Homo-oligomer: A and B are copies of this chain.
C-alpha cells in the first residue's frame, strides 16, 4: 500500500525564502528517488510562513529510504527544521 506523508510547516516570514528554496531543492532530489510517487510543495493561502508538503512513496520502506538520503539530512534536518516555529506531520496509507 502506498504510503503518504503530510507535513505542515511554519517559519517566520523573514525565513520564508530560505525554507522555500530548500523545499524546492528537496522536491527535485526526492522525485528522483526510486520509491517516490509524489512530492508536492505548497505555500499556505493567507498564512505567511506556512508551507505544506504532500509526499507519497510506494511503501513505508520507500519513505524510510528517503529519510536516510543526503538531501533529506542536508536540506530538511539541517536547513529547514531549525527555522520552523511549527511542525505537524501525519503518516497515512493511500486508499
Contacts and interface: CB of A to CB of B under 8 A. Distances in A.
Interface of A: 4, 6, 8, 20, 23-24, 38, 40-46, 50-52, 54, 56, 90-95
A6 B54 contact: yes
A75 B63 CA distance: 32
A30 B45 CA distance: 22
Contact of A92 (B20, B52, B90): B52
Contacts of A40: 4, 56, 94
A86 B18 CA distance: 33
Contacts of A4: 40, 42, 52, 54
B93 A6 contact: no
A51 to B, nearest CB: 8
12 contacts: A4-B52, A4-B54, A6-B6, A23-B95, A24-B95, A38-B38, A41-B95, A42-B92, A42-B94, A42-B95, A45-B91, A45-B92
